Each structure stands twice: as structure tokens, then as C-alpha cells.
A and B are shown apart, each in its own frame.
Chain A
Amino acid sequence: MTTATMTAERTPAKLVSPAKLVKDSFAMAWRGVLKIRKNPEQLSDVTLMPILFLVMFGYIFGGAVQGSTEEYLQVFVPGLVVMITIMASMSAGISLNTDVSKGVFDRFRAMPIARSAPLVGAVVADFVRYVVGIGVLLGFAAILGFRITTDPLSTLAAVAIAIAFGLAFCWIAMFIGILVKSPGALAGIMMAIVMPFTFGSNVFVPTETMPDWLAAWSEISPVSLLADVMRGLLVDGGDITGPLLGSLAWMGALLAVFFPLTIRTYLRRLG
């Protein structure tokens, strides 16, 4: 064999354009939505959890914290929107982990497509899960006596902001999903991440009742901030500028850190 024959064509190296990334991501999102449609049981977490949480916490804490269940629900449900969103976002990492370990992504990686599209697409498909989760939550809460006291536009804004947060927060789960090699350990790790965020927040109990150190965290926790935004948009109609800016800052920071980290790890994991 002569090395002289080994000359590549003088064409410039091809790159994948941003427009192609968007197109490929939507194609991959279609895959995700198809998979949800084929296995509706994948939605069991986002349908059962809201109901369980409403019943359990609504009745257990309702009396203790706020005097009556109805009053507690008005404060608790908006926060629960955030909590359900966060919990729903964890499954993205788990399905990513199985996809990668099964080698389904190998074919995508050997195709001339945007390399991050399989990940971005999976995240976009989870949109369905958030909508279902929040829908079930608000619907069942209404049956229990929760009332949205603002207008439909504010409600829509609340849902949109919550989903946007889910789409940003899920990159933590994606990162862990790609990092951890044993699927068995995943659920535990996800829980360990979700817990400090959700329980170290004002979703279940007011920050004033917490010890100082926890209150300090709760004040700046994205979950508390976002819960305040939800309360403003769904129930009291108050000024939400502060918590909204805080929430947006968190989303930006989460995306800026975990999105590139995940893509880098994904590209490197098998190579």
C-alpha cells in the first residue's frame, strides 16, 4: 500500500448549520413524542404524582400550616406546579441513559446531522410531559377546591414559564444521565438532587418557619422564586418582577453550565 494514494478530495470540511440543528432537533423530538404515544405508561409519573402530592400534602399539611385545606391549596398548588415540573424533568436523564447504553444513538452519531440534535430533540419532546403533568395537577386541584383567581393569559404565562424552567432544569438530569454508567444508580441520584431543591423551598411550608441556614437557601432557591412567580400569576396577581428575574437568571445559569457540559460529555463518552 502506498500512502501517496491517501489524498482527500479538496473540498472544504462540511459543518452542520444552526438551521439544520433546529430541523434535526424537531425530527428527534418527533421520535420522542412517538415513543410517549406508544408507551403512555411513561406518563404515569406526571399523572400520578400530582394527584398523590395533592392528596397527601394538601390534607396532611393543610390543617397544620394554613388552618384549612382550601387556604393551604391556594398557596400550595402554585408551588406544586414547580415541584411537578422538576420531577418530570428528571426522566429525561433516565431515558437518555438507556438510549446511550443501548447504542440507539450510534446510528445518529454516524450521520451527517447536528451532533446535539438527539439530546435537544429528546428534551423538546418532554414538552408533552410537562403539559400533561401541569394539566393534571391544575385539573385535580380544581376538584379539591383550588381556584385560579387571575385571568387566562396569566395562567398561560405561568404554564409557559414553568415549562421553560423544566426545559432548562432537565439538563442537570441529562448530564447525570450521560455521566452515570449504571442505570440502577440513576433514580437515587436524581432524587438526591430534587429533594434539596423542592423541600428546601417555600413550596410546602413558609420560609419563616425554617431554621436560618435553610431559610437562607430557600430565599434564593429557584424553586421558591418560581413558586412566587406562580402564586403571582395564578392566585394573587401581585408584582412578580423580582422573583421572575431571579428565576430567569437561574434558567440561564443552568443552561449555560449544564447544556455544554452534557453535549461535551455525550460526544466524549464513547469516543
Chain B
Amino acid sequence: MNNEIAIEASGLKKRFGETQALRGVDLTVPTGTILGVLGPNGAGKTTAVRILATLLRPDAGRAVIAGRDLHTDPVGVRGKIGLTGQYASVDEDLTGSENLRLLARLLEFSRAGAKARAAELLERFELSHAGGRAVKTYSGGMRRRLDLAASLIGRPEVLYLDEPTTGLDPHARNEVWQIVRGLVNDGVTVLLTTQYLEEADQLADRITVIDTGKVVADGRPDELKRRTGGQTLQVRPSTRADLEAVSRILTELTQQVPDRDDDTGLLTVPVSDPVLLSTVVRKLDDAGITADELALRLPSLDDVFLALTGHRTSQENDQNRQEALV
């Protein structure tokens, strides 16, 4: 028995006809943490989740989830996990409450117990007012929350969330993030897939980046950022007239000519030494220059992704996604 690792998968492979969806993926998730699996469309995120949820049989590789072996004890695995799939898997015709009660009954709650558990979850996900309404009348955010509630009925130790916020507005996305954080506080282990770099950065303790079925990077969000180049210093002087002077100061200090954006009046320059920031502040002060913005930034995960995979999460991919949903 291993108490530290909730999900341990190695060498997962899966082929669909011509498509090699997974080419040997390793994933490790310590108990009580969030792993963000980041990748563009078609990277294999859903395939990996479906395998770990016992919905798909891998061609090769093995996995142990909450101490249960995926191959030899799939029923045991199913007893430990909760799944919120990429596409809502609640029943449109039934009400929110009926959906939850049905699942509770299947998980061996008594009739009264099922009713109580459904009410409790509806309350927790702020759906009490809509519990008696058919799910087809729900908004996207409500549906997502119900889907999440549905995957929590059996108090799973391990929760899979496949792109839980895709298609949600920023407000609804924030709500889902709050819920996920709350779950982890309760000790649940979460494996979350996402195409949103910000989401992985916000939620995940560790990030595994996959692309075309392979792991291309793995680490803490800040580690990943560091791995793809150092930090950048950004300065925006209060008046455009000072741009020249600031640029000179920065060049002097970093031995590099800063990037200059004349539209925004922002100067950007890579730096290796964080201590430089205080020096810059002093020099600007000495020169009597005030700045609206002065910051040391890690590169965005978008930059990381570009560096790791050679391509961005492009517009083209977004279009594919639209078509796939139709």
C-alpha cells in the first residue's frame, strides 16, 4: 500500500486505427494534489482520462489508482474515482435532483439517503433552486456544476476532470476553480485536463504537458516557466518622452537592448538576476523618472508551450474544436 501516490501510470499506449493517440504516457499524482494535464486538441488528454477511468482499455502500459490496479481490479478502481467527462454526461430529460438520486441509488444509498445526498450536493453547488427543473433548461455553467456534483456522490478519492471549464464564461470558470480548490482541501486528488494555460497555472500543483500522445514536459508551474528561459523585466515610463532614457538605463544594466513597444510604451528585456530590479528602481529614481509599470515576469505558459512543442495552441485548433462540437 502506498499512501503518497494516488495515480501512478506508466507507458500508456492507445491506437485508434491509424491514429496513435497515446505513445507511452507516464503520469504521477501524489495524494491530495492537483495534476494539470495540458495539451492542445488531439493531444490525447481525453484518451488518457478515459483509460484511467476504465472506459478504455490501453494497448500497453499499466496504472494503479488509489491502490487498485487498473487491469486486475477495474471494479475496485471504479469504486475510488469520480469522472466529469469532457462532454456533460447528465441526463437532459431528468431534473438535477433526479440525476443525482439515480447515481446515489446506483452507489447503494438507500432511497432516503439518496435524496439527502442529492439535496446536500445541490446546496453545495448552488443548484438548490434548480434541482426540480429538467437539466435541458440549465445554463452551461449550471450543467457543469451538476456534472461535478454527480461525480462526487460516492465521495471519490480521485477525481478526473476533463476540460472542466471549456465553454464557460470567466465567472462560471472561477466558480469551478473555487470548487476544485475546495475539493483538494478535503483531501481529494484531482487530475485535470485543460487547454487553458492559465487554468493549469491557477490550479495545478504540477503540470504535465502532452502533445501528440507524448509527455513533452513535466514539473511545477514555476519550474516549467523557468525551464523555457529566464525572467523578463518590464518597464512602462509614465511619459513617452522618457522611453529613450529608460531604454538606455536598461541596456546599460543588462547589456541587452530592450524590446520596445511604441503602442503601449512598454520596454521588455530578459534578465538573469532578480536583484537587478532594485537597481533599476534606484537608477530610475536618480534620473527622476516615474514608471506606471515596473515588474519582473516569468514567461507565460503560452511561451512555455511554444518552446516545448514548437507550436502554440493555435487558432486553427480552435476551429477544429468548433467543428468537433457540431
Contacts and interface: CB of A to CB of B under 8 A. Distances in A.
A16 B79 CA distance: 11
A27 B105 contact: yes
Contact of A9 (B5, B68, B151): B68
Interface in B26-55: 26, 28, 50, 53-55
B55 A271 contact: yes
A209 B154 CA distance: 62
Interface in B267-304: none
B94 A38 contact: yes
A34 B83 CA distance: 24
A13 B72 contact: yes
B5 A30 contact: no
B257 interface: no
Contacts of B150: 107
Contacts of B79: 14, 112
A10 B4 CA distance: 16
Given A6-B62, A14-B79, A110 B55 contact: yes
Contacts of A3: 10
B56 interface: yes
Interface in A26-50: 27-28, 30-31, 34-35, 38-39
A31 B94 CA distance: 8
Contact of B83 (A9, A13, A107): A107
B69 A31 contact: no
B73 A110 contact: no
A103 B79 CA distance: 20
A241 interface: no
A23 B297 CA distance: 58
A192 interface: no
Contact of A8 (B4, B69, B94): B69
A106 B89 contact: yes
B5 to A, nearest CB: 6
Nearest to A35: B93
Contacts of B10: 1, 3, 6
Interface in A70-115: 102-113
A126 interface: no
Interface string A46-62: 00000000000000000
Contacts of A1: 8, 10, 26, 28
A111 B107 contact: yes
A24 B78 CA distance: 15
B57 interface: yes
Contacts of A104: 89-91
Contacts of A27: 102, 105-106
Contacts of A15: 75
A263 B265 CA distance: 66
Nearest to B49: A110
Interface string B209-234: 00000000000000000000000000
Given A9-B1, A14-B79, A31-B91, A110 B53 contact: yes
A39 B93 contact: yes
Contact of B64 (A6, A13, A108): A6
B98 interface: yes
Given A6-B8, A13-B76, A38 B93 contact: yes
B253 to A, nearest CB: 42
A263 to B, nearest CB: 16
Contacts of B103: 107, 111
A1 B5 CA distance: 11
A214 to B, nearest CB: 42
Given A30-B102, A104-B89, A111-B107, 11 more contacts: A11-B73, A13-B73, A13-B76, A23-B108, A31-B91, A34-B98, A38-B134, A107-B151, A109-B55, A110-B83, A111-B154
27 contacts: A1-B10, A1-B28, A5-B2, A5-B8, A6-B10, A6-B62, A7-B2, A8-B68, A8-B72, A10-B1, A14-B79, A16-B75, A27-B102, A34-B94, A35-B91, A38-B93, A102-B87, A103-B87, A105-B89, A107-B150, A110-B55, A110-B78, A111-B78, A111-B103, A117-B106, A270-B50, A271-B57
Interface of A: 1, 3, 5-11, 13-16, 23-24, 27-28, 30-31, 34-35, 38-39, 102-113, 117, 270-271
Q: Which 3 A-B pairs have the closest CB atoms?
A: A9-B67, A8-B69, A13-B73
